[in-house]
Amino acid sequence: MRTPVYNRVALIGLGLIASSMFWAMKRGGLAGEVTGYAKSAESRETARRIGLCDRVCESAAEAVEGADLVVLCVPVGAMGAVAADIAPSLMPGATVTDVGSVKRHVIDAVTPHLPDGVHFVPAHPLAGTEHSGPESGFAELFDNRWSLLVPVEGSDPEAVAKLRALWEGMGANVDEMDADHHDLVLAVTSHAPHLIAYTMVGVADDLRRVTDSEVIKYSAAGFRDFTRIAASDPTMWRDVFLTNKDATLEILGRFTEELFALQRAIRTGDGEQLHDYFTRTRAIRRGIIEAGQDTAAPNFGRGGGKE
């Protein structure tokens, strides 16, 4: 049996990421005890029923008592308030981390509340599904996915190394990144694509000449993947766009320019430009498959298993 990386881990927020972390930590023997807290009494009751966490607490402050690692798994807009709530109960020498999709805002919101002697090492696992809630997690979520650590100025190297060991123990590949660069990268790889997906699903809803039954029936033609992305947690994504505004707007501006160029090529019948563009973008897809971040296997029904 491997030696645990942490004696006690507190999970604040019990959604997809937190629940997957719990099952992954249990699978790897990475934590002596895992406590948890969710704002919703219903979520706390669900967690107890399914055995999620060794102990589900009635307050965030209670959950973090004696924990040498505290993981903030709440929407990024709530991080500051949660940090303020738990600060008096944090154990000296503890590490606080998070799993938010935006980093600069989280650092600015959380850092002022943390007492001296508590280490803050922001993080972001690049893994997920469209499902949310305590029952959505599974131990394999992070396997061969990337988790980015975003140490702040003065982050303790030993605290960073321990958090890296935890994520690697949960199956993730780990890299370190500057906060502002992280937010720009994620605007390209996640935030703007989600906004585009939400928009496309909204457009289909607006086009009453295309009936709901047709949208559902023929969605294997590409629309299906938009709907899967657009089914993601609305509170989380509202906060992402409000807190990563500059980077998202920059990428959306670039997207708009490219879209206008493609509109012009279609209008003028410029097949060569369209073919060249699609050839270039196809190569990016091949790169993702070669990096082991997806499979080339067709899965048009998306049946079976968690994605």
Q: How far apart are CA 197 and CA 131, in angstroms?
A: 16
Average pLDDT of the chain is: 91
Quote the longest CA-to-CA distance of the chain: 67
Check pLDDT > 80 for residue 209.
no
Residue pLDDT, tens place only, 124-171: 999 988 788 999 999 999 999 999 999 998 899 999 999 999 999 999
Q: What is the pLDDT of residue 221?
A: 65
Q: What is the pLDDT of residue 213?
A: 74
Nearest to 147, CA basis, from 121, 115, 111, 184:
121
DSSP bridge partners of 124:
148
The 3 state secondary structure assigned to the chain is CCCCCEEEEEEECCCHHHHHHHHHHHHHCCEEEEEEECCCHHHHHHHHHHCCCCEECCCHHHHHCCCCEEEECCCHHHHHHHHHHHHHHCCCCCEEEECCCCCHHHHHHHHHHCCCCCEECCEEECCCCCCCCHHHCCHHHHCCCEEEECCCCCCCHHHHHHHHHHHHHCCCEEEECCHHHHHHHHHHHHHHHHHHHHHHHHHHHHCCCCCHHHHHHCHHHCHHHHHHHHCCCHHHHHHHHHHCHHHHHHHHHHHHHHHHHHHHHHHHCCHHHHHHHHHHHHHHHHHHHHCCCCCCCCCCCCCCCCC
What CA–CA distances, in Å, run from 9 to 51, 54, 95, 200, 280? Answer: 16, 10, 10, 40, 45
Residue pLDDT, tens place only, 244-256: 999 999 999 999 9
> Within a 13 Å sphere around the CA of 160, how many CA atoms are in the beta-carbon half?
15
Residue pLDDT, tens place only, 176-198: 999 999 999 999 999 999 999 88
* Domains, in order of start, for the chain: 6-177 (3.40.50.720), 181-290 (1.10.3660.10)
The pTM assigned to this predicted structure is 0.87
Residue pLDDT, tens place only, 88-134: 999 999 999 999 999 999 999 999 999 999 999 999 999 988 788 99
Report residue 84 as tokens.
């303020």
| Angle (CA) 299 199 210, round 5° | 75
Nearest to 141, CA basis, from 10, 33, 19:
19
In sequence order, the 6+-apart residues with CB closer than 8 A to the CB of 159 are: 95, 119, 121
Q: What is the pLDDT of residue 210?
A: 67
